[in-house]
Amino acid sequence: MRNLIKKLSETHSLDLDEYESLIANRNDESRKLLTDLAVEARKKIYGNKIFIRGLIEISNFCKNDCFYCGIRRSNFNAQRYRLTPEQIISCSEEGYKLGFRTFVLQGGEDDFFTDEILGKIIREIKSRHSDCAITLSLGERTFESYRYLKVCGADRYLLRHETADRVHYKILHPTSLSFENRLKCLYALRRLGYYVGCGFMVNSPHQTTRYLAEDLKFIETFKPEMCGIGPFIPHKDTPFKDFDSGTVELTCYLLSIIRLINPHILLPSTTALGTIDSFGRERGILAGANVVMPNLSPVDVRKKYELYDNKICTGEESAQCRQCLQNRMNKIGYEIVIDRGDIK
Ligand code: SAH
């Protein structure tokens, strides 16, 4: 194990079998060594600085039916909402005052948000704050759509690949969705000059160690600027309601590995991690993550954007979330910075 970890930290690459063995045979010693090397690698590039992204959940309408997701089309218990362009802009204004310089517009795949409507929102935010970055996380769209939104000023795009294994992809999604199209979107975004983020859930139903190894190999070869990983957490109104959540331990282990695959990568410690453990986001940072994404959505819609059960931070105002995370980061010796937080 020591040799594998040493190889990873020096060459930033392992073969599939090696990734699999690194996960399957993990123990206290490998955990400690990986964590130490990951934290050291991040420190060299980012010091003790943590980047923040203001998350605005613009709509929970979704035309897709992913088996794991609480806002899937077939969940008739979900109370649907969509923010108006004015509301989205006002969230970003509030965020700007709170020191956010990146806004993430995330939502289900909602046809209301045409290129034209999104384009106007992006242009408006950018014209008010040219020092801000805009990240989109709105699922699969056409090349033309991605191109247009880029022209309007979008800088980055988060599109988790969900799993790098075709068979597993089919298990997690209805037949209308394919791994091929997910990949096509990721490569289109890359070609258009976006900063691209991929990612996956830890312990998603039927996930194997081999699949996780494939995820890591995919991250190594695709070379995303960002990577979002968090534990799978069941949602009561989905077909996967009876599956177990992922663990903090494995999620943090994988965060450390990803940091060593690309020491520069922008790696969030996610809300899902904070949901399964009250100290989860801190643990993510201490494993090598360098980004947190406080919620800027209006409080009255927070509970409705429920991808999984018991999501945290659904009751607090944006300013409270921002302050709470700042205190949490300070307590573990890190500092939130007012910065677009581009990759270094
Ligand atoms: N519609 C957009 C945004 C999806 S929500 C898209 O397709 O990219 C963002 C992420 O939440 C998803 O990519 C998925 O990995 C994660 N997610 C969905 N359901 C989840 C669950 N039950 N537990 C943990 N994470 C979940």
* Residues composing the chain: 344
- φ, ψ dihedrals at 161, nearest 5°: -75, -15
CA of 44 to the centre of ligand 1 (A): 31
CA of 339 to the centre of ligand 1 (A): 26
CA distance 115 to 333: 42
Residues 28-85 pLDDT 10s: 999 999 999 999 999 999 999 999 999 999 999 999 999 999 999 999 999 999 999 9
The reply to whether ligand 1 has any atom less than 6 angstroms from the CB of 268 is no
Q: What are the structure tokens assigned to 38, written together?
A: 């990951």
Q: What DSSP string describes 274-315?
A: HHH-TTHHHHHHHTT--EE--B-S-HHHHTT--SSTT-SSSS
Q: What are the structure tokens assigned to 71, written together?
A: 């806002």
pLDDT of residue 310: 96
3.40.190.10, 3.20.20.70, 3.40.640.10, 2.60.40.10: CATH of 2-337: 3.20.20.70
What kind and span of H or E run contains 196?
Answer: strand 195-202
Domain boundaries, the chain: 2-337
Residues 161-214 pLDDT 10s: 999 999 999 999 999 999 999 999 999 999 999 999 999 999 999 999 999 999
The reply to whether ligand 1 has any atom less than 6 angstroms from the CB of 139 is yes
pLDDT of residue 18: 98
